[in-house]
Structure 1
Amino acid sequence: MKVFCGRVNPTTGAVDLVEEDENYDYHQEIARSSYADMLHDKDRNEKYYQGIRAAVRRVKERGEEAMVLDIGTGTGLLSMMAITAGADFCYAIEVFKPMADTALRIVEKNGFSGKIKIINKHSTEVTVGSGGDMQARANILITELFDTELIGEGALPSYEHAQQNLMQDQWEAVPHRATVYAQLVESHRMWSWNKLLPLRLGSEEIRSPTEMESCPGGPSVCDIQLNQVSQSDFRPLSDVLAVFRVDFSQQVSSSAASHPVRIRSLASGAAQVVLSWWDMDMDPEGTVTCSMEPHWLHPTSQPGPWRDHWMQCVYFLPEESPVAQGEELRLTAHQDDYCVWYSLTKTGTGEQSETSAQRPACHCGAHITWNRARFGELNDQRRMERYEAALREALSPDSVCLCVSDGSLLPVLAQSIGAAQIYTMESSSMSQQLMEKIFRTNHLGDKIRVLQKSPEGVTTADLGGKKVSALIAEPFFTTSLLPWHNLYFWYARTALSTHLASGVTVLPLSASLHVLAAEFQDLWRIRSPCRSCEGFDVSSLDEMIKNSLTFRESQEAEPHAMWEYPCRALSDPTKVMTFDFRETVPAEEVSCEGSLHLVRPGWCQGAVLWMEYQLTEEISVSTGLLQVAEETGDCQWYPHSKQGVYFLSSLLEPTPARSRCPRDLTYSLTFNPKTGCICMSFTEEKVRAV
């Protein structure tokens, strides 16, 4: 069977379908998933076990056999907990075959094969009865079907079907119930992730089209590590509210529902954003609770456990609404079988509109074309001021300017500065239409021409028969995942060579790849080996992940928004490669080797990589590191781009002796111009004492 997976092609700026080995892409999916993170989540595991043990006890006290149904078993951990707690038998359902095979090996290795049956099906396909997948219905339902939004992985339909078809008339559920919390806030920072705000560019103030201002946005939640958002970045307009509960011990419905809550505004301001999270009671009494609440709710107490598989939610209201202190409001959480969204009304203004009860859908195109980081980048006034200063140096009144970036406002800057002719290229028809709307709204529709073409497809006629004297870019492309994927600009510049005037100005002049060795506060957990968990041997999962990553681990980094994941710089930031955009892409590979000397003691778990762009000889912009605290090494990262993170293969707890040992992190990097990829390897080496 042929398997295809999507992969960014930096040479074309597109996502290509690449044929892989039959199991390769699946194993990669497991390896890059949050299984290790969940297994390392001791708080989660302990509370699940307490809830399971109590549920088994309640069933036994009724004089019944404890028959468990575990939906989405993953590694089989919760099923093994159930048998250890005294359950008589467990049916463990896992639809994903490579994971089901791994769970079977783990169950057998731990001696539970006679008590646990792994069923490789979707729970809705499971049959009960003689000759069926289950001999009889279960009376304990254990699940871990939850995501950051609680219901986003289809928990409600799965519960609804299981309770109707696979459970006895009376059952125990672990978790027993979940509660969703919300807080209404004003936040310019978070609102800038959702709207194109008025922006001063040169002599122009750019405004977004009316349909973009009124657009409710997309249905996907913005999930973040809310602990890393400073409390100074938002102002609470309400208390924390329990907006709705799901009782898993009762029949669950996946039907759409609305949950209104009356509130009184704590302050005057602009209601823009709803912060949300949930907690789970593992037992009916609510004595065992697993909570996702942000740490700043209890700043004086011990911080809660770090998690990446479950975070917190940011929901954007359909529109900004001014509220007065003490004003009575109604905040409504709407949910269907997969999504949650919020609306806000003033009390006394009638019932919720039919529109607000519908799942939000973008009608302006911006929320489909741009993600939250891109909105933030476009709204970054300081960043745009640096581009403005650079363009003032680079452009002249007779410049024929071509911009090669997706959804860029640089053409507006070029027009403000006074370039004679301005063209901009967009990679998709939707992006083309979006930018044309923005230009028309700002009366620039006849001054900036949008080309929806590939660089290879541009003709002399497209450029009015003239040569380009200024080729400009941010660069930014919507398909880019890793920092160096935006080197697509270099390939575009090469393809456009015949259309460039002699002595063409190229902005940015060049890009450079930077790297530093890092100690991560928590991020290391998602890739740390996990050979045992709560006393069970789960090394089969660790072996499978290790084997599937043997090749890639020595060559690839992962994209992460480092502002959400605190880390310490153990080495000085180092420039390791430079790409000169004034020249065409070279035919030969470009390689570099060297060492990062670890100037601070700590646990070196990997390296962080990012790009910096030299706009002019004097002006540059960074998509990564902004500042390092001299004494502590704490890093401040650019918040509107993802950085590349390379995890070392051996993530071991540091010993005091090891952390004091002088070391180097040696690196070897190779840029392949045929693929546009950067292959890399890092090795930690002890430095010999002199």
Structure 2
Amino acid sequence: MSGDDYFKEYERVEMQRLMLDDRPRTEAYKSVILDSRNSIKGKVILDVGSGTGILSMFCAQAGAKKVYAVEASAMAKLSKEIIKENNLSDVIEVHQCLVEELELTEQVDVIVSEWMGFFLFHEGMLSAVIEARDRFLKPDGVIIPESADLWVAPCRLPRYFDYWDNVYGLKMQTLGKFQRENQKEPVVTDVEEMDLMAEESVVKSVVLKTVTPDELKQFKFRTLVPATRDGKYQGLCLWFVCNFSIDEDNLFFLSTKPGEPKTHWKQTAVVFPFDIEVEKGDPIAFEIVFRNRLDDARKYSIEVTMLDPEKEEHPTPCYCKMTKCVVIQKYLEERSNREEDDENILVDDEDDEGQS
């Protein structure tokens, strides 16, 4: 999707309806804005990628002094009418342009943006938020959301593997194998919580006030985790969690983790061309690398490397089934029991002294 196609996609009413119907997403923004009125009331707000203007209107309802809504697509024209329809034109000023082209006569107190893409960064607008922050945000200003984490966990993907075992009573594993071997891109899909095969890990954390473009060009994550159940290890599941908390009294999070209320982002799966049978406790090791694509700065390529658990450094303690880790677990458990016994003896001695 080229830059022009990206903005044309957001002109479609169907796309806007999809996002508006995403209740976890929309309610998260509505809750943090309306329940944090003290951080919004009387303030100047910049809404980056404002779309229909719904976040701008939430800010106006919360008492914002002025809201600058920036939308590059033709949706900006419709949003002006929507804002007028809600009698908020005196507060909200719509600009149809890129953030890079925006000119304001004042600095802003708050930047609000629904910038997240698939697996947080892909086809997102974080670069535009950074541009807006560097040009327009006051030093003591805040950004909504405040931070975000990208998570990963090994998973099974029955939709891409088991489905082909029985298609109307017939086997079509040949077609399934062909699909997996030619699956060059990650897929956006719903992954069930029961399909996660190991504990999740944070791949990348970003704090919106401090993140820089350079640290987003490429990043990687290497880990070793024990399988938490028996089954087929068939891919990696990616999702994100955003922290919307702009003050200590109001804590809000938006999670796209499997098992949480479904969002239009769903989850992103890196589908392996083959599956690996694992038992609970088996070590799973991998490295995942994210690279900003040269042909489109909004997109990322993902590269996964399977690692040999025998050659990887294990955390301490590690709860996998490898002999060295089992021995360390046993040693730490015995040491903990001895320390607990020593503490109990000390307490008993103090009680005896108190009674004498």
Q: TM-score, normalised by structure 2?
A: 0.68
**Aligned residue type for 1:49:** K
Question: Residues 80-119 of structure 1: matches in 2 within 5 Å?
Answer: 80-97=57-74, 99-119=75-95
Q: Is the 8 A contact 1:68 1:138 kept in 2?
A: yes
The answer on 1:326 being equivalent to 2:287 is no
Distance 1:165 1:320, change over 3 A: farther
User: Does the 8 A contact of 1:191 with 1:273 survive in 2?
Assistant: no
Where does residue 38 of structure 1 map in the other structure? 19
Q: Structure 1, residues 545-588: CA drift from partner, whole Å, max 9, x if none?
A: xxxxxxxxxxxxxxxxxxxxxxxxxxxxxxxxxxxxxxxxxxxx
Cα distance change of structure 1 residues 31 and 47 upon mapping to structure 2, 3 Å threshold: closer
Which residue is 1:224 aligned to?
A: 189
Which residue matches 1:160? Answer: 130
Q: Indicate which of 255, 263, 268 corresponds to 1:291.
A: 255
In 2: Cα distance, 1:179 partner to 1:27 partner: 26
Cα deviation digits, residues 233-254 of structure 1 (max 9, x gap): x5x4312334332222333433
Cα shift at 1:74:
0.8
Shift of 1:59: 7.0
TM-aligned CA deviation for residue 288 of structure 1: 1.3
Change (3 A) 1:273 1:168: same
Instruction: Pick from 121, 127, 139 the counterpart of residue 169 of structure 1.
Output: 139
1:146 has 2:128 as partner: no
Contact conserved, 2:285 with 2:309, CA < 8 A, in 1?
Answer: yes
The within-5 A match list for 1:603-618 is: none
- Aligned residue pairs: how many? 292
- Secondary structure of residue in 1 paired with 2:104: coil
Q: Report the equivalent of 1:125.
A: 101
* Secondary structure of 1:83 counterpart: helix
Given that 2:10 and 2:73 are in contact with CA atoms closer than 8 Å, whether structure 1 keeps it comes out as: no
CA distance in structure 2 between the partners assigned to 1:150 and 1:162 by the alignment: 19
Alpha-carbon distance in structure 2 between the residues aligned to 1:112 and 1:201: 59
Displacement, 1:111?
A: 2.4
Q: How does 1:558-597 map to 2 (within 5 A)?
A: none
Cα shift readout 1:123-150 (whole Å, capped 9, x = no counterpart): 2222xxxxxx211232311111223422
Shift of 1:320: 4.5
Deviation, 1:257, is 0.6
Aligned AA for 1:57? N
Work out whether 1:263 is the aligned partner of 2:225: yes
User: Does the 8 Å CA contact 1:318/1:343 hold for their aligned counterparts?
Assistant: no
Q: Deviations over 1:166-217 (max 9, x none)?
A: 32333311112222333212345424799xxxxx999xx96999xx799684
The aligned counterpart of 1:247 is 207
Residue in 2 aligned with 1:47?
Answer: 28
1:381-407 deviation digits (Å, cap 9, x = unpaired): xxxxxxxxxxxxxxxxxxxxxxxxxxx
Of 256, 270, 278, the match for 2:240: 278
- 2:220/2:290 contact within 8 Å kept: yes
In 2 relative to 1, CA 138–214 (structure 1 residues): closer, same or farther, beyond 3 Å?
Answer: same
Higher RCO (CA < 8 A, seq sep 6+): 2
Consecutive unaligned residues in structure 1, runs of 5 or more? 6-25, 127-132, 195-199, 296-303, 352-690
Identity between Structure 1 and Structure 2 (%): 19
The alpha-carbon distance between structure 1 residues 125 and 111, as it changes in their structure 2 partners (threshold 3 A), is same
Structure 2: which 5+ runs fail to align? 165-169, 293-298, 314-356
- Give CA-to-partner distance per residue, 1:422-450, whole Å, 9 cap, x none: xxxxxxxxxxxxxxxxxxxxxxxxxxxxx
Tell me the secondary structure at the aligned position of residue 114 of structure 1: coil
Q: Which residue of 1 aligns with 2:311?
A: 349
Q: How big is the shift at 1:275?
A: 2.3
Q: Could you say if the C-alpha distance between residues 325 and 50 of structure 1 is closer, same or farther in structure 2, counting changes exceeding 3 Å? A: closer
Q: Look up the equivalent residue of 1:155 and give its one-letter code.
A: M
Q: The residue matched to 1:314 in structure 2 has which SS?
A: strand
The change in CA–CA distance for 1:105 and 1:59 in structure 2 (over 3 A counts) is closer
Contact 2:115 2:126 in 1 (8 A): no
Change (3 A) 1:241 1:111: same
Specify whether residues 237 and 69 from structure 1 end up closer, same or farther in structure 2 by C-alpha distance, changes over 3 A only: same
CA–CA distance in structure 2, aligned partners of residues 314 and 123 of structure 1 = 31
SS at match of 1:346: coil
Q: Is the 8 A contact 1:328 1:346 kept in 2?
A: no
**Deviation at 1:279?**
2.4
Give me the whole-angstrom Cα distance separating, in 2, the residues matched to 1:55 and 1:135: 26
The 2-side partners of 1:314 and 1:164 are apart by 33
**In structure 2, what is the Cα distance between the partners aligned to 1:46 and 1:260?**
34
Flag the 1:328–1:171 CA change in 2: closer, same or farther, 3 A. farther
Q: How far off is 1:121 after superposition?
A: 0.8
Contact 1:190–1:273 (CA<8 Å) still a contact in 2?
Answer: no
C-alpha distance 278-154 of structure 1, shift in aligned 2 (>3 A): closer
User: Given the superposition, is the C-alpha separation of residues 40 and 216 from structure 1 closer, same or farther in structure 2, using an over 3 Å criterion?
Assistant: closer
- Aligned mates of 1:246, 1:193 — CA distance in 2: 37
**Paired residues of 1:216 and 1:317 also in contact (CA < 8 A):** no
5 Å matches for 1:380-399?
none
Over 3 Å counting, the alpha-carbon distance change for 1:224 and 1:173 in structure 2 is same
> C-alpha distance in 2, partners of 1:186/1:291?
20
More helix by share: 2
Task: Report whether the alignment pairs 1:237 with 2:167.
Answer: no
Q: Determine whether 1:73 maps to 2:50.
A: yes
C-alpha distance 322-51 of structure 1, shift in aligned 2 (>3 A): same
Which structure has the larger Rg?
A: 1
Change (3 A) 1:343 1:68: farther
Name the Cα RMSD after superposition.
3.8
Q: Could you tell me how far 1:89 is from its partner in structure 2? A: 1.3
CA distance in 2 between counterparts of 1:224 and 1:101 reads 33
1:336/1:114 CA distance change after superposition, 3 Å? farther
